[in-house]
Amino acid sequence: MSVCRWLRLCGVAVVVTAGLVLPASAAGRASRPNIVLIYADDLGYGDIGCQGATRVKTPHIDRIAREGLRFTDGHSPSATCTPSRYAMLTGEYAWRKKGTGVLPGDARLIIEPGRPTLPSILQQAGYRTGVVGKWHLGLGTRNLDWNGDIQPGPLEIGFDRCFLIPATGDRVPCVYVEQRRVVGLDPADPIQVAFGKPLGSEPTGKAHPELLKVHPSHGHDMTIVNGISRIGYMTGGKAARWVDEDMADTITAKAVEFVEQQRDQPFFLFFSLHDIHVPRVPHPRFVGKTDMGPRGDCIVQADWCVGEILAALDRLKLAENTLVIFSSDNGPVVDDGYKDDAVQKLADHRPAGPWRGGKYSAFEGGTRVPLLVRWPGKVQPGVSEALVCQVDFPASLAALTGQSWNVETGPDSVNVLPALLGELPAGRDHLVEHAGSLSLRVGTWKFIPAGKGARVSANTNTELGNAPEPQLYDLASDPGETTNVAAQHPERVAEMGRRLEGIRSQAR
């Protein structure tokens, strides 16, 4: 019997490289399933049926959970969008690098072309790579001209294809970018974009609230596009402007098109939903599907987007050979700047599930998000309590596809592949959680250093987790972070404080 066959019979995956036979753990598995990463925006742990939501139905998301592995301790790297995405694509905690906070819509690209990224290593492994939907990692260099070639962007950091919402739904420019061009732009009506200082003569929400169909609750009072005032100012590009109500349909069609086009070789699709970020303006067919107003209806819409991708995989007979990952870029927020009835209609719905806080928060609700992994026949359906984070995707998916991950440029990415595939019950032993400040998880202990800052956000009413004294929680007995036990465990507080400082001061 060959060594290969013997190892396989013993349950050890093998990789044959230049005559050498190495166990998978040493050489990577060199398996190349398609990878579809569906990334919701601001969707909370408790916003989906399989994690306790009852007033909104999410059958498609629940199907991924039922047919796959549901993580109860899966995290986004940060409690807001840009830093989470930066860390997930680079394997480096965003707080290590200046300028990686929530970006304005005219920011330059913050991921350096040429550095290893999640998509670039998959490209190296022979994948066709695509990103569809929200980007929010900046585009171009300084003073980007939106009317010409938009670069550098996703195509310079490892994606073969892109169809983008450049920043967020609530930030200008309110146009799509495909490959390097604004979609549908009339050259006779050039786009200009500005943040901070007004631009042009188009009405703003501040001056003309009578023109609005959705009103801001805080901020969001600048240029009006499609009856909704945004963050930032734009002029021109009228024919190219998106219609919020059609956004889910538009990006889902693009995502499905990518899957159809790439079906014959391994592909990686990063499908980055707009939902359920503000402004929450679902397509009319989803309006009223819940009793929670637009926030609930947008969850239904997000679930529909997921269902379309799963249906495409089924239709093309790709489901068996596709690793589907579903997650969210940060915890939930109820009022994030528009009067959309989310607060009034929330009642007993708990967007963060059992966790305290939400988007922007150092409490678990900031980063403990839905994380589901499905790979039929390879990942045993079930529930995992492993501590894992999206920053681990680069090292883990490199291991899956037989690539080595560059720990110099992506030092915070841990290979947790055995946990992601359900082969091991444990993932990381520790995790730095990032909101405005840093906190540290070690096992089920959670340490939040003493810090300045409001306890509750005046805008969003989120409990931010800041306190003038150190906080220590034992999540095993107190998952809701209700009882600060720092005073009872001074040594653990000191030790976790030192460890956090050590990680913080580690050079790249």
Binding residues vs Ca ion (CB under 5 A): 41-42, 81, 329-330
Rule CB under 6 A: say whether 278 interacts with ligand NG6. Answer: yes
Q: Are 114 and 124 in contact (CB under 8 A)?
A: no
Closest separation in Å from C-beta 158 to ligand NG6: 22
Which of the listed partners (Ca ion, ligand NG6, none) does 439 bind, with a CB threshold of 5 to 8 Å by partner kind? Answer: none
Sign of the alpha-carbon torsion through 55, 56, 60, 66? negative
Sign of the alpha-carbon torsion through 405, 407, 412, 418? positive
Q: Are 120 and 158 in contact (CB under 8 A)?
A: yes
Nearest Cα to 85, choosing from 164, 188, 11, 179? 164
Closest separation in Å from C-beta 136 to Ca ion: 8
Instruction: Round to whole Å and give the CA distance between 218 and 213.
Output: 15
Residue showing the smallest CB distance to ligand NG6 in the complex: 219
Rule CB under 6 A: say whether 136 interacts with ligand NG6. Answer: yes
Show the site string, 92-111: x = touches ligand NG6 by CB under 6 A, - = not. Answer: ----------x---------
Closest separation in Å from C-beta 63 to ligand NG6: 26
Closest separation in Å from C-beta 211 to Ca ion: 27
Which of the listed partners (Ca ion, ligand NG6, none) does 297 bind, with a CB threshold of 5 to 8 Å by partner kind? Answer: none
Instruction: Round to whole Å and give the CA distance between 302 and 138.
Output: 24
Show the site string, 327-356: x = touches ligand NG6 by CB under 6 A, - = not. Answer: ---x-----xx-------------------
Show the site string, 150-189: x = touches ligand NG6 by CB under 6 A, - = not. Answer: ------------------x-x-------------------
Rule CB under 6 A: say whether 218 interacts with ligand NG6. Answer: yes
Nearest Cα to 42, choosing from 228, 299, 243, 285? 299
Instruction: Give residues 235-264 in contact with ligand NG6 (rule: CB under 6 A).
Output: none
Q: Name the pairing type of β-strands 34-40 and 267-272.
A: parallel
Q: 278 or 399, CB closer to ligand NG6? A: 278
Contact segment (CB under 6 A) with ligand NG6 among 183-191, 215-223, 396-404, 464-472 equals 215-223
Q: What is the 3-state secondary structure (H, E, C) of 207-260?
A: CCHHHCCECECCCCCCEEECCEECECEEECCHHHECCHHHHHHHHHHHHHHHHH
Q: 41 or 47, CB closer to Ca ion? A: 41
- Residue 63 CA, chain-centre distance (Å), reads 20
Q: Name the pairing type of β-strands 471-474 and 445-448.
A: antiparallel
Please, is 147 exposed, middle or buried when counting C-beta atoms within 10 Å of its C-beta (0-12, 13-18, 19+)?
middle
> CB within 8 A of 17, min separation 6: which ones?
27
Rule CB under 6 A: say whether 231 interacts with ligand NG6. Answer: yes
Q: 40 or 386, CB closer to ligand NG6? A: 40
Closest separation in Å from C-beta 86 to ligand NG6: 11
Which of the listed partners (ligand NG6, Ca ion, none) does 434 bind, with a CB threshold of 5 to 8 Å by partner kind? Answer: none
Rule CB under 6 A: say whether 275 interacts with ligand NG6. Answer: no
| Size of site (CB under 6 A) for ligand NG6 | 18
Cis peptide before 173 (omega within 30 of 0): yes
Beta strands in 304-444 (DSSP E): 322-328, 371-374, 382-384, 388-389, 430-434, 438-442
Q: 108 or 218, CB closer to ligand NG6? A: 218
Instruction: Round to whole Å and give the CA distance between 313 and 259.
Output: 8
Q: Which residues bind ligand NG6 (CB under 6 A)?
A: 41-42, 80-81, 102, 136, 168, 170, 218-220, 231, 277-278, 330, 336-337, 459
